[in-house]
Structure 1
Amino acid sequence: MSVGTIYGLGLGPGDADLMSVRADRLLRNARHVAFFRKKGRKGQARQIVEGMLRDDVIEFPMEYPVTTEIPVTDPRYNELLSAFYAETTAHLRHLSAAGEDVVVLCEGDPFFYGSFMHLYSRLVDHVPVQIVPAITGMSGAWTATGAPITWGDDVLTVLMGTLDQPRLEAHIKATDALVVMKIGRNFDKVVAALKNAGKYDDAWLVEFATMPNQTVNRLRDVGGKITPYFSIIVVHGQGRRP
């Protein structure tokens, strides 16, 4: 019996119309579909593909044991997630060994700050794995602002809001164009870093980019109320142009 292939399927930023043709084809023909979700939630990736799965699909929800309940610096955080990834990897390897292909749904692009990377590193030396790339969430966000993110020789920097404030400020000062992800509980720290780096007034906040509930606002106009997860801050470059 031939082994099955695990597909890391990039869904794009959230609008199903922005999926690639290949992703759509694989998804609609998949017998086994796996996806990440928080306990008690349907899962954003699963929600994106609602109505696109075949009637006899076998779903495998992979429920995170922890997300924001404890800080990432707590040793338990890595212990819990490592055990979780080991367990889910074992299940996927079992399906592959039985000759079954599995599509793993990935928001955005599978190789860009996604959970699938942790499965990939555990699978790639043991079973066939293929990656289906996709439009990233940040691309959807800067497109939503209606302005180019970079011009000419602009340098684009992508930062995680989880960085400490001095590092955030240093990177923000050194770049031309900027994307900040993983804002959530780091919102106040990111805002302070933008202000100290002199780029607060140029920043935009995009929530739920490309989704039906998308919002696009100047950061200075939103106050302290943001969506913890689906939020991206964008600062456009102003570089060389004809």
Structure 2
Amino acid sequence: MSVGTVYGVGLGPGDPELMSVKADRLVRGARHVAFFRKAGRYGQARRLVDGMLHAEAAEVAMEYPVTTEIPLSDPRYNEILSGFYEDSTARVLECARAGEDVVVLCEGDPFFYGSFMHLYTRLKDVVPVEVVPGITGMSAAWTATGAPITWGDDVLSVLTGTHTEEELTRQMGCADALVVMKLGRTLDKVRRALKAAGKYKQAWLIENAAMPEQSVMRLAEAEGRVAPYFSIVVVHGQGRRP
């Protein structure tokens, strides 16, 4: 029996109209659809395809065993997540080995800080895997500010708030243009690092980019604010212009 193909499909940042034509076609034609979500939640990736799935599509919800309950530095974090990804891979692999194609829904782009990467590395040498790129959340975020992110030969750095404050400050100081992801509990640390790097006043906070509840403001005007999960800080480059 021939094996099915696993498709990691990038859905873009949150607006269904920002999906690629290929992503739209694969999602609508899928008979097996898998997606990640937090336990007890509907899941953002699943929400993005509401009304698009085939009536007979079988859904596979892969629920994270932990999110922020255990610190990243705790050895148990990697152990628990590794087991989770092994189990998720087995569920997808079962469908593919039965000759069924599986569409894995991915927020943003599958190869950019996405959970699908952990399935990809476990599946790519076992069954056919195809990745469909999507518009990243950071692209939607800087577009929402109404200004280009880079000019001329600006250097763009993409950081995560999970770095140490010292490392954030160092990297921010070297960048012309800047994107900081994975905020939430790390936002206060990111604020301090931006101030130390001399970039705080230029920073923007974008929440839920390309979603109905999108919010765009100067970070300095959001003191004391608790950032939701889908939040990104942007500092625009000011490089060479003709």
Secondary structure in structure 1 of the residue aligned to 2:23: helix
Give RMSD over aligned pairs. 0.6
Would you say 1:235 and 2:217 are equivalent positions? no
**Structure 1 contact 28–52 (Cα < 8 Å) conserved:** yes
Letter in 2 for 1:209: A
Query: Any gaps of 5 or more consecutive residues in structure 1?
Result: none
What's the CA shift for 1:224? 2.0
Matched, 1:163 2:181: no
Cα separation, 1, equivalents of 2:120 and 2:190 = 31
CA distance in 1, matches of 2:241, 2:199: 21
Separation in 1, partners of 2:200, 2:111: 29
Question: Take 2:144 and 2:128, find their aligned partners in 1: how far apart are those partners?
Answer: 36
Aligned match of 1:22? 22
Query: Is the 8 Å Cα contact of residues 38 and 64 (structure 1) preserved in structure 2?
Result: yes
> Which residue number in structure 1 is paired with residue 93 of structure 2?
93
> 1:228, CA displacement in angstroms?
3.1
Partner Cα separation in structure 2 for residue 182 and residue 130 of structure 1: 26
The Cα shift of 1:227 comes to 2.9
Which consecutive residues of structure 2, in runs of 5 or more, have no partner in the other structure?
A: none
Q: What stretches of structure 1 move > 3 A for 4+ residues in a row? A: none
Asked if the contact 2:6–2:101 (Cα under 8 Å) also holds between the matched residues in 1, the reply is: yes
What is aligned with 2:131? 131
AA at the equivalent of 2:207: E
C-alpha separation in 2, matches of 1:174 and 1:197: 9
- 1:202 Cα deviation from its structure 2 partner: 0.1
Contact 1:7 1:131 in 2 (8 A): yes
Instruction: Identify the range of structure 1 (218-227 vs 102-111) with the bigger mean alpha-carbon deviation.
Output: 218-227
The residue aligned with 2:108 is 108
CA contact (8 A) 1:7 1:103 kept: yes
C-alpha distance in 2 between matches for 1:150 and 1:137:
16
Cross-structure match for 1:207: 207
Give the match for residue 11 of structure 1: 11
1:152 corresponds to: 152
Aligned-partner Cα distance in 1 for 2:225–2:219:
11
Shift of 1:2: 1.1
Tell me which amino acid in the other structure corresponds to 2:190.
V
1:149–1:237: 8 Å Cα contact kept in structure 2?
A: yes
Which amino acid in the other structure matches residue 104 of structure 2?
V
SS in structure 1 of the partner of residue 227 of structure 2: coil
Contact 2:35–2:45 (8 Å) recurs in 1: yes
Partners of 1:227 and 1:219 in 2: how far apart? 11
Q: Percent identity?
A: 69
Deviation at residue 226 of structure 1 after TM alignment: 3.0
Secondary structure class of the residue paired with 1:201: coil
Aligned residues: 242
TM-score normalised over the length of structure 1? 0.99
- Which residue type is aligned with residue 222 of structure 1? A
**Alpha-carbon shift at residue 19 of structure 1 (Å):** 0.3
Please give the secondary structure, in 1, of the residue aligned with 2:33.
strand
Is the 2:207–2:228 Cα contact (8 Å) retained in structure 1? no
Aligned to 1:56: 56
Q: Secondary structure of the residue that 2:201 maps to in structure 1? A: helix
> 1:222 Cα shift?
1.0
In 1: Cα distance, 2:64 partner to 2:217 partner: 31
CA distance in 1: counterparts of 2:193 and 2:91, whole angstroms: 43
Deviations 1:104-159 (A, max 9, x none): 00000000010000000000010000000011000000000000000001000000
2:225 & 2:193 partners in 1: Cα distance?
18
Which amino acid counterpart does residue 123 of structure 1 have in structure 2?
L
2:55 and 2:224 mapped to 1: Cα distance? 43
